[in-house]
Amino acid sequence: MGKVKIIEVGPRDGLQNIDFFVPTSKKIQFIKRLAACGIKEIQIGSFVGPQAIPQFRDIKEIARGVNTLQDVVLSALIPNIRGADIAIASGIHKFIFFFSVSKTHNCCNVRQTPQQSIEELKRICREYLSDSGTTLQVAMATAFGCPFEGNIKTDSVLRAVEKAAACGVQEITLCDTVGFGNPQMVEDKFAACRKRFPEIIFGAHFHNTRGLALANTLRAYETGIRSFDAAAGGLGGCPYAPKSSGNAASEETVFLFEEMGIKTGIDLKKLLGVCRFLLKTIPQAKIASSLFQAGLPEKHRYVADNKGGKTK
């Protein structure tokens, strides 16, 4: 029986784009409810300046409110070494460092060229990666296409991975920031990355901008990927990626895998409860999830057997 890891990015990617400021206590409740579903890793927010993303002006309070949670890895986005220092002081020991494969998107998103981002990544790795309690994951935005530059070649992704790997990074997520990816592209890029860098753990981050998030998720799984970012209720977007929309919905991603007999370790009923919580608590957020609207199927469930499957 297969197994996958779902990384919940709703509190970070899901909330960053909402104009309305979500009260700190509600963000903390959101994270605690997600942890209670059995989710093993949650991105709690971003240690960026309040001008960059006003939604996270309370990131230190959020971190303090959740950093004693057990059995869950809490991570946060850090744009630079200063963000890393504050994250550590707030009890967060897993960093997500973002940069875009596309130069134009990187300049808009973090106001640096990709090369400057790599220099910053080197400094963070030198400072923190020797500390055994700290881990770092690189999230590579626009790996499947850029709203400004269009097509992003696999070679460009491989070069970016090579630079991150040279800094000592072992976990890299390829992000379809604006939903340009399709299953064939997903297979091509992940297969090339895994072949060239077998020592790196690759993860996938899909947005459902054009309805292909789950198709891409499945193809990534078939290409050997076992780590998937997703957001409860399909929340999400990128402030610097025009018209980008929600992440792959966590509950639909869990449903996809569990229905095929691939374990996620996540309690789906509880996760749908988190969606209800979101609907009530953040009515400004768009809950884009067919599964949440339809509910779980009550009587029909596919159970694999030796003859290729049966229904009960």
The site for Zn ion (CB under 5 A) is made up of 13
* Residue 119 C-beta: closest distance to Zn ion, Å: 24
Element (H, E) at 2: none
* Residue 12 C-beta: closest distance to Zn ion, Å: 9
* Residue 238 C-beta: closest distance to Zn ion, Å: 6
Question: Between 12 and 128, whose beta carbon lies closer to Zn ion?
Answer: 12
Question: Between 56 and 128, whose beta carbon lies closer to Zn ion?
Answer: 56
Question: Between 128 and 250, whose beta carbon lies closer to Zn ion?
Answer: 250
Residue 244 CA to residue 180 CA, distance in Å, equals 10
Given 146, 193, 238, 275, which residue is catalytic?
A: 238
Question: 206 near 176, Cβ under 8 Å?
Answer: yes
Residue 150 CA to residue 129 CA, distance in Å, equals 34
β partners of residue 141:
100
Residue 152 CA to residue 216 CA, distance in Å, equals 17
SS3 227: strand
In the DSSP assignment, the letter for residue 130 is T
125: annotated active-site residue: no
* Residue 149 C-beta: closest distance to Zn ion, Å: 17
Question: Between 13 and 251, whose beta carbon lies closer to Zn ion?
Answer: 13
Residue for token pair 């790599």 = 118
CA 131 centroid distance within chain: 24
Residue 272 identity (one-letter amino acid): L
Residue 2 CA to residue 41 CA, distance in Å, equals 18
Question: Between 13 and 120, whose beta carbon lies closer to Zn ion?
Answer: 13
Question: 58 near 90, Cβ under 8 Å?
Answer: no
* Residue 133 C-beta: closest distance to Zn ion, Å: 27
Residue number of the CB closest to Zn ion reads 13
Beta strands 135-141; 94-100: pairing state: parallel
Catalytic site positions: 238
